[in-house]
Structure 1
């Protein structure tokens, strides 16, 4: 059970609800949340976020409320929303819950949290917190992945398509295909890994902190995630047709065996420009959202875990691996 708050009642829920996430009915989702809490005799405070710029502010309010009441902070939204709220929760000592409302929901699926909001509420109301690994890039939290190069460009194009055609997986795939067909530029990077430094050219660098996603792409490094390591993927420079072939292999779960792909696991990785006079900032995709971060980029596992409310049993999508 999730225990009791500071005033002796069952821990209240402070729910940061991004009404712009997903493609469902926000009013219906809110009613489902409030009805589930009422039936369980549980206090909950639904804190609506109607603009992306307010997400961090509302998350801070939720953390303060949870600290005072001995409660739980819950993020309702897609992986980007969940990651942004986790950034505020990490290190606060407050348990964390999620109500997945996004397109892919990799974080919740990895930890066995249902996509159905009524079922996810039952997890929040009846399960206990467990420590889960958090990735960091320059102290920015990522729960699923962080990337630079081609992948952030794909995310930007995908967001443009979603605004026109809706938030569906087929739209995301179509946007990715168009991005690859338009061609890409290679990054010139200096990478420090395992006490060695090398300079390389790559269209994209992808860092994974989600075993389910890495398993689906066909990378054995998925097994290293959750044990204090992250998974890294770098592509060798390739043309458009070869890149499309790699996309197909990824869809088939065979990308880890491709000749033009280097995959590895690590505890710490530092990335900078190969030329000292180059740009000092770079676009980084972080759990589906694109930000500009200052170089060098330092990837690592957070020394502090998230205390996630999740089922004790393994996630169904990973149980067979």
Structure 2
């Protein structure tokens, strides 16, 4: 049973009357640790958008899978925008139903890291994020698909997949970034990599790896850029393979990744392609958009132009392969 709220009128800065009235559904998880902190902000966002003559519904999830179900209903009702009020996990659940539709994805960043918001330079505070919803532009971007699930950001195979699975099993997720860092430090002492067979656009290779990141976008974990050349609208996926090496060489690589150094890096193989098959003798853990998600084998493909997204009018540099057509895509008359 859906829960819908009519939000009380709160004080909010009145929006510009030149914006186009739209229909929007906000989906959020009331059991998440951040909901209590952001509940008042959500009330103000709803009031702000209603003052712009938007028709807005706030829908709260009650059980796993509700995010996808509510997004599907919004698509069927031909809503203009579904707004994910949460983190990257909430976004991933919602895009499963928005893919291939005319309903655009909007974001109110309320998660732990908010990688997509950081990638698009969407303000992390609600006042700035709601302005992007109202005055931003609509872009058509690619999605990745691993087996039967879409991803917006990346797929991780290997070390980060094992970390994500361990975090889920030990309930370290409630500690946020610290929980992940603690688990990474523990597991780094024993993880020695894996042998894997890859087929990238029919080109086969076999190698040993610590980590494979398949990226639709650049930013990873809010801090580093494994797939630093990725464009979210170029019809390609970027593949970064981290090979085993000495601890010193690995630390140097981490330094370069955190500092976002350009140029060729030791221990790294970097490729692009439209499809990737991953096979291993023993199953290797996966993560999708930051959440634990099964094991190898896996088939990964790019789905060009699969998703409409609302992004700031001034777009971040380097993430799009082409400029927006403002007259067609800007959310104003």
TM-score of the two chains, using structure 2 as the length reference: 0.78
Conserved 8 A contact 2:141-2:307: yes
Conserved 8 A contact 1:221-1:264: no
- Displacement, 1:318? 7.0
- Displacement, 1:207? 0.9
- Displacement, 1:29? 3.0
Conserved 8 A contact 2:120-2:316: yes
- Displacement, 1:50? 4.4
How far apart are the structure 1 equivalents of 2:239 and 2:263? 11
Higher helix share: 1
Give the aligned partner of residue 30 of structure 1. Answer: 42
Structure 1 residues 316 and 201: CA distance shift in structure 2, 3 A: closer
Conserved 8 A contact 1:14-1:47: yes
Which consecutive unaligned segments of at least 5 residues does structure 2 have? 1-17, 321-333
- Displacement, 1:209? 1.4
Give the aligned partner of residue 306 of structure 2. Answer: 305
| Partner-residue secondary structure (3-state), 2:312 | coil
Structure 1 residues 26 and 116: CA distance shift in structure 2, 3 A: closer
The answer to which of 217-226 and 199-208 deviates more is: 217-226
- Displacement, 1:150? 0.6
Give the aligned partner of residue 178 of structure 1. Answer: 186
Structure 1 residues 132 and 312: CA distance shift in structure 2, 3 A: farther
- How many residue pairs get aligned? The number is 300
- Displacement, 1:78? 0.8
How far apart are the structure 2 equivalents of 1:126 and 1:73? 16
Give the aligned partner of residue 125 of structure 2. Answer: 116
RMSD: 3.1
| Partner-residue secondary structure (3-state), 2:66 | helix
Structure 1 residues 22 and 311: CA distance shift in structure 2, 3 A: farther
Structure 1 residues 317 and 234: CA distance shift in structure 2, 3 A: closer
Q: Tell me whether 1:48 sits opposite 2:77 in the alignment.
A: no
Give the aligned partner of residue 23 of structure 2. Answer: 12
1:179-258 equivalences under 5 Å are 179-180=187-188, 182-213=189-220, 217=224, 221-238=228-245, 240=247, 242-254=249-261, 257-258=264-265
Structure 1 residues 38 and 220: CA distance shift in structure 2, 3 A: closer
| Partner-residue secondary structure (3-state), 1:226 | coil
- Displacement, 1:86? 0.6
| Partner-residue secondary structure (3-state), 1:133 | strand
Structure 1 residues 176 and 19: CA distance shift in structure 2, 3 A: farther
Structure 1 residues 234 and 59: CA distance shift in structure 2, 3 A: same
Conserved 8 A contact 1:72-1:97: yes
Structure 1 residues 161 and 116: CA distance shift in structure 2, 3 A: same
1:250-290 deviation digits (Å, cap 9, x = unpaired): 223248643212122222211112x4xx55xx431001101
Conserved 8 A contact 1:215-1:222: no
Conserved 8 A contact 1:109-1:317: no
1:170-193 deviation digits (Å, cap 9, x = unpaired): 55444433332x220422211112
1:88-143 deviation digits (Å, cap 9, x = unpaired): 11123222211111222221222232211122122223334221221121131111
Counterpart of 1:284 (choices 283, 286, 292) is 286
Conserved 8 A contact 1:217-1:254: no
TM-score of the two chains, using structure 1 as the length reference: 0.80
How far apart are the structure 2 equivalents of 1:214 and 1:171? 13
How far apart are the structure 2 equivalents of 1:221 and 1:34? 36
